[in-house]
Amino acid sequence: MGSATELTTGNFDASTKDGVTLIDFWAEWCGPCKMIGPLIEELATEYEGKATIAKVNIDNEGELAAKFNVSSIPTLLVIKDGEETKRFVGVTAKANLAEALDAATA
């Protein structure tokens, strides 16, 4: 069973330079982030081997949040081969996230 990868400034570039990655920018104190958390874990299992599902805790990784101009959380980014291809802000339906991942991995 897959689980979301924790990204930091130390492993971010290596983790996102190849393939497709869905990144959830979140914080422990964020209610909507807690709502979407289980969906992120489900996607990690469903897309294991096809895409990387990852999380960035903005309280610990403010530099990454600033790099991607994350001003509201949750913010979810689809990164393909190091480039942002799609952005969602706020609680997003799992079907919308899956559709973006399917498009990026096609």
Q: What is the pTM of this model?
A: 0.94
pLDDT number for residue 58: 97
- Is residue 30 annotated as part of the catalytic site, yes or no? yes
**Which residues pair with residue 77 across a beta bridge?**
23, 87
Check 4, 22, 33, 70 and give the catalytic one: 33
Q: What is the DSSP letter of 90?
A: S
Which residue ranges make up each domain of the chain?
5-105
pLDDT number for residue 1: 52
CATH architecture label of 5-105: 3-Layer(aba) Sandwich (3.40)
Banded pLDDT at 10 (limits 50, 70, 90): very high
Banded pLDDT at 16 (limits 50, 70, 90): very high
Check 19, 27, 30, 86 and give the catalytic one: 30
Q: What is the pLDDT of residues 29-75, one digit of tens each?
A: 999 999 999 999 999 999 999 999 999 999 999 999 999 999 999 99
The mean pLDDT value of the chain amounts to 95
